Amino acid sequence: MNPLTKGSKQPPPIKGHKIRLYSNRFCPYSQRIILVLDAKKIQYEVVNINIANKPDWLYEKVPEGKIPALEVENEEILTDDLIIVDYLEERYHQHPLYPKDPLQKAKDRILIEQFNKVVNAMYRLTINIGRMNMNDDDVIAQGLSVFERELADRGTPYFGGSKLGMLDLMIWPWCERADNLKVFGYQHLLRRDRYKKLMEWRNHMTEDTVVKKSLLHSDYHIKYLQSYRAGMPDYDLILNSN
């Protein structure tokens, strides 16, 4: 289904205990929520939005038309990806994603927040045409080194242990898009000899059944990024490729 645009008809109200995610196929913050929904085996539907030409009704449902947004019972709307995933973790107890130990849970939350530095640096390097911060290379390298050491210290294939957990899912969307850095000459930031544990972790993630559900090949991410930088973001890219 094509992303909904200005003038499109509003979807009917959700029924029963079903929930609806207002999303965009190329939004990593939306992917965070989808990963958690799939990991916890929660029934949901997705309404993809053309974020360059949003439908009018979206602004009536969601403050400032912001996505991702989750519509739950009684047409309540939740925004902010991290708030949403914490709600899902607390509301749906099956397949818990955070550690049981309160201290470890707190440490994982700190690491999720810390990863924002890597996210912001990647954004500046790949989305912004002009370089705004010459230290972005160091921010990414130092950030990835933190997670490399963390995996080594834990001695497990995933940050969540023998199976993926919330920390794995929260950093994955940007690791899935890591090859975007190569397109603009930053391949030196992804040295395999420097991030051996992370590279092994990435291989484990791509083989996981939960991750596979929303996984896109790097070619799609690169083509979308190129269309975005050209001022014509192709939100129908995946549909047009089929």
Through-space distance between the first and last CA atoms of the chain, rounded to whole angstroms: 12
Q: pTM for the complete prediction? A: 0.93
User: Above 90 in pLDDT, residue 56?
Assistant: yes
How far is 232 from 227, CA to CA, in rounded Å? 5
- For the chain, give me the number of helices (H) and strands (E)? 12, 4
CA distance 142 to 157: 21
For β-strands 19-23 and 69-71, DSSP reports them as antiparallel
Tell me which residues are annotated as active site. Answer: 27
**pLDDT per residue as tens digits for the range 145-184:** 999 999 999 999 999 999 999 999 999 999 999 988 888 7
Q: What is the pLDDT of residue 131?
A: 53
Query: Comparing C-alpha atoms, which of 24, 36, 27, 30 is closest to residue 81?
Result: 30
Those residues whose C-beta lies under 8 Å from the C-beta of residue 35, and which sit 6 or more positions away, are 169, 172, 173, 210, 211, 214
Q: Are 122 and 144 in contact (CB under 8 A)?
A: no
pLDDT tens, residue by residue, 10-33: 998 887 778 999 999 999 999 999
Contact 47, 60 (CB under 8 A): no
pLDDT digits (tens, 9 = 90+) for 225-235: 989 888 888 98
Write down the pLDDT at residue 207. Answer: 96
Q: Would you say residue 35 has pLDDT above 70?
A: yes
Domains assigned to the chain: 19-91 (3.40.30.10), 102-224 (1.20.1050.10)
pLDDT of residue 240: 64
The Cα diameter of the chain in Å comes to: 53
**pLDDT above 60: residue 242:** no
Beta bridge partners of 78: 70
